[in-house]
Structure 1
Amino acid sequence: MNFELTEEQQMLNDSLRRFVTNEYGFEKRGEIIKSGQGTDPATWSALAEMGLLGFTFPEDYDGLGGNAIDTMVVMENVGRGLVVEPYLATVVLAGGLIRDAGNDAQKADILPGIANGERLLALAHSEPGARYNLSYVQTTARKDGDHFLISGQKTAVLHGGQANQLIVSARTSGGVNDESGLSLFLVDRDANGVKVDDFATHDGHRTADISFSNVTVSADNLIGTLDEAYPAIEKAVDLGIAALCAEAVGAMEAMNTTTLDYIKTRKQFSVAIGKFQTLQHRMADMFIHTEQAKSMAILAASEADSNDRASRRKAISTAKTLVGQAARYVGQEGVQLHGGMGVTDEMFAAHLFKRLTLINLLFGDADHHLAQVSDGLLAKTA
Structure 2
Amino acid sequence: MILDLTDEQRAFAAAVDDFCRREAGTRAQRDALTDHGRHAHHQDTYQKLADLGYLGVAIPEQFGGAGGGMVDTCLFLERIGYGLLPVGGFATSAIVASAVQRSGSEAQKKTVLGGLTSGRTFSIAMSEPEAGSDVAALACRAAPGPDGGYVINGQKTWCSNAHFADAILLVARTGGAAGDHDGLTMFLVPADTPGLRVSGIQTMGGKEVNDLYFTECALPADSVVGTVGGGWWQLMAGLNVERLILAGLMLGTAQRAFDDTLDYIKQRKQFGRPIGSFQVLRHRIADLATEIECCKLLVHRTAQLVDRDPAKVLPRESSMVKLKTTEVARETALAGMQMMGGYGYASEYDMERHVRATLVSTIYGGTSEIQRDIIGKTYGL
Alignment TM-score, normalising by the size of structure 2 = 0.92
CA contact (8 A) 2:95 2:245 kept: no
Distance 1:120 1:324 in 2: 24
- Partner residue of 1:11? 11
1:208 to 207, 210, 216: 210
- Partner residue of 2:256? 254
1:114 to 116, 125, 150: 116
- Quickly say closer, same or farther: Cα 1:261–1:160, change in 2 above 3 A: same
2:178 to 165, 176, 179: 176
- Quickly say closer, same or farther: Cα 1:79–1:205, change in 2 above 3 A: farther
Task: Return the letter of the residue paired with 1:144.
Answer: G
- Partner residue of 2:92? 89
User: What secondary structure sits across from 2:185 in the alignment?
Assistant: strand
CA contact (8 A) 2:250 2:358 kept: yes
- Partner residue of 1:22? 22
TM-superposed CA distance for 1:238, in Å, is 3.3
- Partner residue of 2:311? 307
Distance 1:291 1:201 in 2: 31
Q: How does 1:1-382 map to 2 (within 5 A)?
A: 3-25=3-25, 26-34=27-35, 38-85=40-87, 86-90=89-93, 92-117=94-119, 119-145=120-146, 146-204=148-206, 206-304=208-306, 306-309=310-313, 312-379=314-381
Distance 1:325 1:164 in 2: 31
Measured against aligned partners, the alpha-carbon deviations of 1:230-249 in whole angstroms (never above 9, x if no partner) come to: 22223334312111111111
Distance 1:28 1:238 in 2: 34
TM-superposed CA distance for 1:330, in Å, is 1.3
Distance 1:148 1:336 in 2: 52
Distance 1:304 1:344 in 2: 40
- Quickly say closer, same or farther: Cα 1:366–1:110, change in 2 above 3 A: closer
Please, what is the CA RMSD of the aligned residues? 1.9
TM-superposed CA distance for 1:294, in Å, is 1.4
TM-superposed CA distance for 1:178, in Å, is 2.1
TM-superposed CA distance for 1:61, in Å, is 1.1
TM-superposed CA distance for 1:201, in Å, is 3.6
Measured against aligned partners, the alpha-carbon deviations of 1:289-346 in whole angstroms (never above 9, x if no partner) come to: 111111221233234463223xx11111112222233223212211111012111211
CA contact (8 A) 1:242 1:297 kept: yes
Range moving further from structure 2, 67-76 or 34-43: 34-43
Alignment TM-score, normalising by the size of structure 1 = 0.92
Distance 2:311 2:129 in 1: 29
- What is the percentage of aligned positions where both structures have the same residue? 27
TM-superposed CA distance for 1:277, in Å, is 2.1
CA contact (8 A) 1:196 1:211 kept: yes
Distance 1:223 1:72 in 2: 25
CA contact (8 A) 1:242 1:304 kept: no
CA contact (8 A) 1:168 1:187 kept: yes
How many residue pairs get aligned? The number is 374
Distance 2:84 2:96 in 1: 21
Task: Return the letter of the residue paired with 2:368.
Answer: A
